[in-house]
Amino acid sequence: MRLIVASGNAHKIAEIAAMFRSGGLDTLDVVGMKSLGEPPEIVESARDFRGNALLKVQGISRWLAQTGSCGGRTAADDWVLADDSGLCVHALGGRPGVHSARFAGEDATDQENNQRLVEELQTQGLDASPGHYEVVLALGRVCTPLEAPPSIAVDRHKGVLLVSGRCDGEVRCTARGEGGFGYDPHFWVDDGARTFAELSQDQKAPRSHRGQAMRELITLLRRMER
């Protein structure tokens, strides 16, 4: 079985693949969407993570169906996984939220987004604020709906299954660590002892928002196989 990640973020794709392996789904072939061609731009116009995750999984599934004809290089039963995630800083009214990847503008780098984050906090005279990472994963198939039995309680929308995750911490102007990606150097956990960027992948996965959602998704897929 192949799972196509609807993302161009190599760090995210590698993180998702590692989580599937650690969850016992090591026979799943996880690939990024760009390995199958030049994907269309999906306008993330929804107001929340759930809406944007749905837009991405539906848009990339349509593109794969059209280019692969559900029988060429893309099989009808290939899975497509999209996520929308971001950092919500409480002192900033939940921003950057759904705009996390482009907080400093379209095509902004992690460094530019982090700089904007620090500037926003400092403008309010703050060195830190409570905050949380949030994610919604949306799983569908290229050409056929993905349905869970009615007995399994899961968020679903037109053949797409959705799970969510959240991780609370403190967002500080001070950055530390070289690992991770995005806002990880500014996201402090363990009562402020270290940042997400100081954790290894094995340390981060059990506690991160994406790790939480992936564990729920893996459990769901195993239940569906029974």
Say if residue 105 is exposed, middle or buried (CB neighbours under 10 Å; 0-12, 13-18, 19+).
exposed
For this structure, is 84 an active site residue?
Answer: yes
Half-sphere exposure of 89 (CA within 13 A, CB side): 25
Please give the backbone phi and psi of residue 105, each rounded to the nearest 5 degrees, phi first.
120, 165
Options 26, 78, 83, 84, the catalytic residue: 84
Residue 85: DSSP 8-state: E
- H/E run at residue 180: none
Which residues are within 8 A (CB) of 177 and not within 5 positions of it... i.e. 6 or more apart? 184, 185, 194, 195, 196, 197, 198, 199
Helix, strand or coil for residue 177? coil
Residues marked as catalytic: 84
